[in-house]
Amino acid sequence: MEIKFHSTVIITEEFEQMKSFYQNILQQNIEFDFGNCIGFTNGLSLWQLKEEYPIAKKLGRTFDKTGNNNLEICFETDEFELAIENLKKHQIKYLHEETEELWGQRTVRFYDPENNLVEIGETIPCFVKRFQNEGMNVAEISKKTSVPIEMVKEICQPK
């Protein structure tokens, strides 16, 4: 038997607003659209429950306004500064603006329109190369980031 991860689903009340947020602000592409359920090419889905659905019957509701406080939806980019500039064009509620994690990755955390926590961070190659450009050697980068030395060497070698 094989059990394969399929997707993460965000149950939503304001479907069109959430669809617009993930499509336009976070630039995610729709793979399928079934009206009240869409799937993005990255595996994230949005679903607007109807009262007759088994999950809504079991939960006793079609949506919970508290959002999700134990799950973070993570995105990465090699163009972190551009992503930050794009976010600033929109009214977004931040958990925190740009910060550097203990391992050196720059991140920003904010909430989508229905209070789900979203993160955008640099990719591993992005922050490893940033440290290389700042003059750190392979061993220093590996120690700072916890990225294995072999992977740092591979990222840092000229292409």
pLDDT in tens, 112-129: 999 999 999 999 999 999
The domains of the chain, with CATH numbers, are: 8-122 (3.10.180.10)
Global confidence as pTM: 0.89
Query: Could you say which DSSP state residue 28 is in?
Result: P
What pLDDT is attached to residue 66? 79
Q: What is the dihedral of CA 126, 44, 96, 18, to 10 degrees?
A: 130
pLDDT in tens, 75-109: 999 999 999 999 999 999 999 999 999 999 999 99
| pLDDT confidence band for 64 (50 / 70 / 90) | confident
5/156 Cα distance (integer angstroms):
32
Phi, psi of 31 (to 5 degrees): -95, -40
User: Which residues share a beta bridge with 118?
Assistant: 73, 110
Please state, in angstroms and as integers, the Cα–Cα distance from residue 2 to each residue in 6, 8, 131, following that order. Answer: 12, 18, 40
The yes-or-no verdict on residue 43 having pLDDT over 90 is yes
